[in-house]
């Protein structure tokens, strides 16, 4: 079982750059996905065409950032032994990045907040595994 | 008094894009600053010239991201009433972004982790005010 | 009193990178803001939906550049003694970057050239102070 | 068996943007990897410190592009039925992007052209599968 | 006469970074231009306003990449002796990059696939000269 | 004869984005080139290896910006009639962007400020023609 995040020791460093510096945090992907959800909600509530065009422009960028942050975790943080222990991990990342993308059912091509919610749920699954491996 | 972060309601959304979507989180700046600190530590522990050059390349990027995330908070999240209530806020942001920069005493021009720690402390001060205003 | 720009010595270098190299010039922000104004004018004069979408895409980028160039001046060029001498400077930069942004009354969320004109006026105020400090 | 590339019909479009437009081509990753190999060779042949620093700066960018192009193929082009038919595909992409990265044995952290050659071989394996699926 | 590409020796390296590493390939510009053509076709076939806005956003990026890849070839690969031998080369590049741009008759400001086809034809002309110079 | 810049009417707008908005200004390229010159001077005056590495990282970026701003002028601003009137224009731009590049005698591969001065002189030649065409 994963400890809730507020119980992880305060000194835990999280890595994300490819020196690698060793600081990773799924929160980076989650914050962008929350942004997508908020944009979808604002989109649905506002029919002004200029606002809607701007919403689509910005959502495209945020979704790209979700994909990027997830890809970095998948390639840079997770190691062969993790993929052995969590055989579903490859699939999870592939599905999550597809959910952030422009294909059918992806957050780029949908303005329905429920798509962003599915993406957030998938990121939460990844996050759970991430923090388990940090505890190990 | 600010509630510790783990007690803030799970449904709080944090905004950061300039739609604006309303999702902000000082964690974005903090994660990059933690990366700078880790890079500095690895730099001091490794005298290989290729490694050190790569460390400087990557630190430059991370420090730029710290500045960017802080600037976004300063301009996009904080409103005139916040600056009235926290008259030190302008100075805090200016000092924090200078600490992430290339001038004397900045994290770009230093490879001493203590500079990154000063930066992290400044971000923590900003974060405290940020979460107070979210509670308000 | 600030000398008109054409009387400043030709050898004056203006700095903007965060080495720092010492070359700064508010013209960078101004040129992008002039672009926003021109885009707004073309937007109003052309109701073709494809043209208008492209105008909004490009305006978003230009406005982001205005913000970036102003942030760089605020953090990298201006020093504590400048903020003491010009106590309005923090507020000026915060207002100018908000005017370039996506909030109410910002150039991203408006296609009215008068918003861009307000932004240009604010940049001119900053520019005036900038050149005064260069003379000092 | 995959047909050699020069026999694929000239009208085949290859997709890579996440509209998605449907145009993908592993050549994008390969060209960047060839660049890494050439940089490594020039690095070994030139001990000038300024040249070597520039080589490391540029190799970092090229390696990041390799990772990006591969990630796009993995998420945007390949579909669940491909992963079923080629169960090694997840692993191949994960290894290839790690080979382009900054960890042990990665092209960012090595200036030995043999690392780039391993990366090129891995991209060739992916490319083979890619063109097989295009024929299907 | 230029040999068809499949007959060029497999060991030919193509350069594109400005170390320079010496690896260039007009395929980079062509792939992006093919993407523009595919986007135009999808745009014409789909009247959904959200899809169309996304198509314009992405086409803008792809067209910018075409321009960039062509500019790199023109400045970094081609040398004075090439411009002497092919006096039409300056004009070809200028026309090709204009065809990828936002002016009248450019691929950014048109959603007609025939514009992208003109761009592809121009890139093919450049490509032909490129491979001739590589043979020389 | 070109009027000195301070006599050009204050309402002249200068264009640079590829809407196109019609606002162009060679000052954008010049400011970056001035930065390169200042970096070279600081590089020569400071033998600290960390400082020198940072200088090379930043110079690479500034030189890339010079190239980009010049390419934009060449493709987006100048029209066929300009190239007829100024037959040297293609060559000027090609030489100027090569001077900003990484080849022999380019500002990326040299830390001698005299290279940056040659680049500045070439930009000044372009600027002269630019302002003549604006007067026309």
pLDDT given at position C73: 98
pLDDT given at position A89: 98
Is the minimum CB–CB distance between A102 and chain E shorter than 8 Å?
yes
CA distance C46 to chain A (A): 14
Q: Would residue F81 count as lying in a domain? A: yes
Radius of gyration of the CA atoms of chain D, in A = 16
Q: Is the ipTM of this structure higher than 0.85?
A: yes
pLDDT given at position F136: 81
- Tell me the average pLDDT of chain C: 90
pLDDT digits (tens, 9 = 90+) for F43-78: 999 999 999 999 999 999 999 999 999 999 999 999
Is the minimum CB–CB distance between B60 and chain D shorter than 8 Å?
no
Q: Would residue E31 count as lying in a domain? A: yes
Each residue's pLDDT tens digit in chain A (136 positions)?
A: 333 333 333 223 334 689 999 999 999 999 999 999 999 999 999 999 999 999 999 999 999 999 999 999 999 999 999 999 999 999 999 999 999 999 999 999 999 999 999 999 999 999 999 999 999 8
Cβ distance of B50 and D111 shorter than 8 Å: yes
- Number of CB pairs < 8 Å for C and E? 17
Q: Which residues contact B15 (CB under 8 A, 6 or more apart)?
A: A35, A38, B21, B22, B23, B24, B76, B77
- Beta carbons of E42 and D21 less than 8 angstroms apart: yes
Q: Would residue D5 count as lying in a domain? A: no
Q: Would residue C13 count as lying in a domain? A: no
CA distance B110 to chain D (A): 18
pLDDT at E31 over 50: yes
- Tally of CB atoms within 10 A around B133: 16
Shortest CA distance to C14 belongs to which of C29, C30, C27, C25?
A: C25
Is the minimum CB–CB distance between F56 and chain C shorter than 8 Å?
no
Is the minimum CB–CB distance between D108 and chain B shorter than 8 Å?
yes
Across the 136 residues of chain B, what is the mean pLDDT of every consecutive 10-residue run?
33 61 96 98 98 98 98 98 98 98 96 98 98 93
Task: List the 5-44 stretch of A: residues with Cβ below 8 A of E.
Answer: none
CA distance D135 to chain B (A): 41
Is the minimum CB–CB distance between F60 and chain D shorter than 8 Å?
yes
Cβ distance of E54 and A56 shorter than 8 Å: yes
Q: Would residue E131 count as lying in a domain? A: yes
Please tell me which residue of chain B has the smallest CA distance to F48.
B109
pLDDT digits (tens, 9 = 90+) for C61-79: 999 999 999 999 999 999 9
Q: Would residue A1 count as lying in a domain? A: no
- Read off the pLDDT band of C17 (50, 70, 90): confident
pLDDT digits (tens, 9 = 90+) for E72-126: 999 999 999 999 999 999 999 999 999 999 999 999 999 999 999 999 999 999 9
What is the Cα–Cα distance from E65 to E33, expressed in whole angstroms?
9
Task: At E122, list the tokens.
Answer: 């121009």
DSSP assignment string, D42-101: HHHT---HHHHHHHHHHHHHHHHHHHHHHHHIIIII--HHHHHH-TTHHHHHHHHHHHTS
Q: Which residues in chain D touch residue F104, judged by CB atoms under 8 angstroms apart?
A: none
Is the minimum CB–CB distance between E91 and chain C shorter than 8 Å?
no
Which chains touch B (3+ CB pairs under 8 A)?
A: A, C, D, F
Q: Would residue B53 count as lying in a domain? A: yes
What is the Cα–Cα distance from D117 to D103, expressed in whole angstroms?
16
Task: At D109, list the tokens.
Answer: 């952290």
- Tell me the average pLDDT of chain D: 90
Cβ distance of D21 and E38 shorter than 8 Å: yes
- Read off the pLDDT band of D71 (50, 70, 90): very high
pLDDT at C13 over 70: no
- Beta carbons of B57 and A17 less than 8 angstroms apart: no
pLDDT given at position F134: 94
pLDDT given at position F17: 86
**Which structural domain, as residue segments, surrounds residue F109?**
26-135
Per the structure, how many domains does chain E have? 1
Cβ distance of E91 and F83 shorter than 8 Å: yes
Lowest mean pLDDT among B124-128, C17-21, E3-7, F102-106: E3-7
Higher-pLDDT residue of D33 and D2 is D33
Cβ distance of B109 and F51 shorter than 8 Å: yes
Which chains touch E (3+ CB pairs under 8 A)?
A: A, C, D, F
Q: Which residue has the tokens 């594109």?
A: E16
CA distance A60 to chain E (A): 8
Percent of chain D with pLDDT over 70: 88
**CATH for B124:** 1.20.120.400
Q: Which residues in chain D touch residue F102, judged by CB atoms under 8 angstroms apart?
A: 54
- Beta carbons of D23 and E35 less than 8 angstroms apart: yes
Higher-pLDDT residue of E30 and E1 is E30
Q: Which residues in chain C touch residue A53, judged by CB atoms under 8 angstroms apart?
A: 52-53, 56-57
Lowest mean pLDDT among B35-49, E11-25, E50-64, F19-33: E11-25
Could you report how far apart the first and last alpha carbons of chain E are, in Å?
A: 11
pTM score, whole prediction: 0.90
Half-sphere exposure at residue D120, Cβ-oriented, CA atoms within 13 angstroms: 16
Cβ distance of F28 and C25 shorter than 8 Å: no
The alpha helices in E1-136, defined as continuous H runs, are 27-45, 49-72, 80-85, 89-99, 113-135
pLDDT given at position A17: 85
Q: Would residue F77 count as lying in a domain? A: yes
pLDDT given at position B16: 67
- Beta carbons of B29 and F26 less than 8 angstroms apart: no
Cβ distance of C57 and A58 shorter than 8 Å: no
- Beta carbons of B25 and B105 less than 8 angstroms apart: no
Q: Could you give the 3-state DSSP secondary structure of residue F19? A: coil
């Amino acid at each position: 079982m994963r400890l809730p995040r507020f119980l992880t020791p305060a000194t835990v460093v999280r890595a994300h750059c490819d020196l690698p510096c060793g600081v990773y945090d799924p929160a980076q992907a989650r914050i962008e996905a929350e942004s997508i959800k908020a944009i979808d909600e604002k989109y649905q509530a506002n029919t002004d065409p200029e606002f809607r065009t701007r919403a689509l422009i910005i959502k495209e960028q945020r979704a790209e950032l979700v994909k990027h942050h997830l890809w970095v975790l998948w390639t840079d943080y997770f190691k062969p032994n993790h993929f052995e222990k969590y055989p579903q991990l490859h699939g999870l990342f592939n599905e999550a990045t597809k959910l952030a993308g422009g294909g059918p059912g992806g957050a780029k091509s949908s303005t329905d907040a429920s798509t962003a919610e599915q993406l957030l749920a998938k990121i939460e699954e990844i996050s759970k595994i991430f923090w388990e491996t940090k505890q190990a």
